[in-house]
A and B are shown apart, each in its own frame.
Chain A
């Protein structure tokens, strides 16, 4: 067995018991990257030399016995999380040459735990998209089926984990950007509760929705990553002061006493029959593990997407006003007035989808339209939040599909923005409500494409979420199959 084939948990155990060195593990992942990247195209930057230097340091620490929980483990990072001295492009021409002078808090935490940053991975430009096709540099390929999208916006994260080029990845989720690519690429992806993980150093898209989270090969790996990245950070005013449990202790078999809700609105028309079958198989597994399953209703589900596509662009139009060609980012040097310099820098630096969302957001916030669009959406957001609070009086967790369909062909929906937005219909609610959600691999369709199952829980319900996800994983007992790439 090649070291890159190990899960993060297995690799950490092998490193601790000296069955494997970090250098061997990193070397194996770098070889894998070299082998499969021509097809997968997940990485925007590979830290080949640095990661081997770090691996040798990790091996020294492992030898001394004072190693952190992720010591010597190579991980990839979505290219909108600031990494000191390493280009952070956000998948945009605007930030093509931006080198952050500091590390995001999650990067500091990963480094303290001993993790090795093996590279930065592709994403939709400024995290706006559902396929990673809006990345200004390259479009990753779905490892399971060439020519199919890997989802987005954390598409490079999902593809790099599914292609086993690294042990885990950090992504970000504003409307499904961790869970959706995880579902389409057959990996585990968790969007934590709003406030659980610090966003200091995360390039902002929509600040009331953005959250960083892990993409991993299995549920245990997800818990191990959460142990490291969670927790209060005084540098993020939205981060919440609350103790971080050891999430791995939640991974116990059996769900006796747990009630799982089946939200009927998530099974509306438009759901692919194979996706529905996979979800219902998941329901049977949870029942077999001892959970009680009840039907629940989230009556405003049908409005979530409309609310999301007003609030997210509105916040984005404000957040992205900082790209003015002055202090960092692309600058048009030909313009002779300040106003033209702003306009030309922004028009050249941003791609279509980013411009579109800035326009929608600016319009929704503009004088005369604010009440009709932004305020209205914020009021409906209250109703959506109430729906979840009501549902969680009747059940502990919700089970549903993640995406209404499996992955589609690259280019299939790229001319129709609204058709693409509709694929986020089952993931945006969790962001609007600030609750945690996870995508767990549920199996493959007849044509060999992965389908995920979504679990959602109340605020700070990550332990129950991981326990149910673990039981789902164990009960489904999917053959440990990974895409055959070479």
Chain B
């Protein structure tokens, strides 16, 4: 076993997902199968090899710090599932 049910439950919490009992059982098995498959990478010795994060070398994209037109407050809020015309509204935090 690469991953236990308890570990998957913890990972689900980290990913902010609630899994139902049935999902938890099924996904533990599926994720375990996938992790067993990707473990084939262990066969390769990668000591001293630099990781690649982007295949094509990219450079920092700088620009002048200038104000340019952007979305209006109304447009920015338009897709908000709960908003009061000025801000997004969320459940009470404190």
Contact = CB atoms under 8 A, between A and B. Distances in A.
Contact of B17 (A238, A343, A360): A343
B79 interface: yes
Given A340-B91, A346-B16, 11 more contacts: A195-B58, A321-B16, A326-B81, A331-B81, A331-B82, A359-B8, A379-B49, A383-B49, A385-B52, A432-B55, A459-B56
Interface in A298-348: 300, 302-303, 305-307, 309-310, 317, 321, 324-331, 333, 335-344, 346-347
A237 interface: yes
Interface in A36-57: none
Nearest to A431: B55
Given A101-B71, A101-B76, A355-B27, A378 B11 contact: no
B50 A382 contact: yes
Given A328-B80, A366-B11, A234 B63 contact: yes
A459 B15 CA distance: 35
A303 B41 contact: yes
A195 B91 contact: no
A309 B16 CA distance: 21
Given A306-B40, A379-B50, A418-B34, A317 B79 contact: no
A191 interface: no
A331 B88 CA distance: 12
Given A195-B56, A347-B17, A326 B41 contact: no
A448 interface: no
A164 to B, nearest CB: 34
A373 interface: yes
B25 interface: no
Contacts of A310: 38, 41
Contact of B53 (A324, A376, A378): A378
A382 B51 contact: yes
Interface in B40-70: 40-42, 44, 46, 49-56, 58, 60-61, 63
A408 interface: no
A355 B17 contact: yes
Interface of B: 3, 7-8, 11-12, 14-19, 23, 27, 30-31, 33-35, 37-42, 44, 46, 49-56, 58, 60-61, 63, 71, 75-76, 78-82, 88, 90-91, 93
Contacts of B31: 356, 359-360, 363
B34 A329 contact: no
A contact patch SS: helix
B51 A418 contact: no
Taking each of B33, B58, B81, which has the highest tally of chain A beta carbons within 10 Å of its own beta carbon?
B81
10 contacts: A234-B61, A238-B58, A327-B88, A328-B79, A344-B18, A359-B11, A363-B11, A377-B38, A381-B51, A382-B50
Contacts of B11: 359, 362-363, 366
What are the 5 closest A-B residue pairs judged by CB atoms, nearest first? A434-B55, A378-B51, A331-B81, A328-B79, A237-B61
Contacts of B19: 347, 355
A432 B88 CA distance: 38
Interface of A: 97-99, 101-102, 193-195, 208, 234, 237-238, 240, 300, 302-303, 305-307, 309-310, 317, 321, 324-331, 333, 335-344, 346-347, 350, 352, 355-356, 358-360, 362-363, 366, 373, 375-383, 385, 417-418, 421, 432-435, 459
Given A99-B78, A234-B61, A380-B44, A359 B27 contact: yes
B53 A338 contact: no
Contacts of B91: 335-338, 340-341
A31 B88 CA distance: 43
B contact patch SS: loop
Nearest to B55: A434
Contact of A421 (B34, B53, B56, B88): B34
B30 A338 contact: no
Contacts of A383: 44, 46, 49
B51 A375 contact: yes
A377 B8 contact: no
Contacts of A347: 17-19
A355 B18 CA distance: 10
A339 B90 CA distance: 10
A480 B68 CA distance: 50
B80 A417 contact: no
Nearest to B12: A359
Contacts of A352: 23
B16 A379 contact: no
Contacts of A327: 79-80, 88
Given A101-B71, A327-B79, A341-B90, A381 B52 contact: yes
Contacts of A340: 91
B88 A194 contact: no
A338 B90 contact: yes
A375 B78 CA distance: 40
Contacts of A234: 61, 63
B6 to A, nearest CB: 13
A328 B51 CA distance: 35
Nearest to A194: B56
Nearest to A302: B40
A309 B82 contact: no
B75 to A, nearest CB: 4
